């Protein structure tokens, strides 16, 4: 009697593990957006590059996916800041709010 119960439990465990394995590989993913990241890099005097990554996950099987994008965009400059005088000229600068590149201006 105990052997029969034990054998039945073992068979049930084996069947359940096979079903869960088939279910995990057969998941039709329904990805949900999880988070994203952005990073900016100086490209040239007029543009910077934005690296954007979106992270998604499937709630059914906990699978994760990420999509990466790359954009070249014009610098977004903040306000001009006065530094002082250099060789009789006014010295001003502006920083790009995305990639933090600094551009200096000199006015007579």
Cβ pair 16, 69 in contact under 8 A = no
Nearest to 71 by CA among 47, 54, 89: 47
Which position has the higher pLDDT, 69 or 5? 69
Give the domain extent around 25: 2-107
Number of domains in the chain: 1
Give the max Cα distance, the chain: 103
Segment 66-75, tens digit of pLDDT:
999 999 999 9
pLDDT greater than 70 at residue 11: no
Cβ pair 103, 83 in contact under 8 A = no
pTM over 0.75: no
Give the separation between CA 34 and CA 61, rounded to whole angstroms.
15
pLDDT greater than 80 at residue 2: no
Instruction: Give the pLDDT confidence score for residue 96 in this predicted structure.
Output: 94
Instruction: Give the pLDDT confidence score for residue 52 in this predicted structure.
Output: 93
């Amino acid at each position: 009697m105990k052997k029969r119960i034990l054998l039945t439990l073992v068979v049930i465990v084996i069947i359940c593990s096979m079903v869960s394995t088939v279910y995990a590989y057969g998941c039709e993913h329904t990805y949900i957006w999880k988070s994203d990241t952005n990073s900016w890099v100086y490209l040239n005097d007029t543009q910077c590059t934005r690296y954007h990554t979106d992270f998604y996950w499937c709630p059914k099987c906990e699978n994760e996916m990420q999509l990466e994008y790359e954009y070249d965009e014009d610098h977004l400059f903040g306000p001009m800041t006065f530094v002082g005088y250099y060789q009789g000229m006014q010295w001003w600068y502006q920083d790009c709010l995305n990639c933090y590149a600094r551009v200096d201006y000199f006015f007579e």
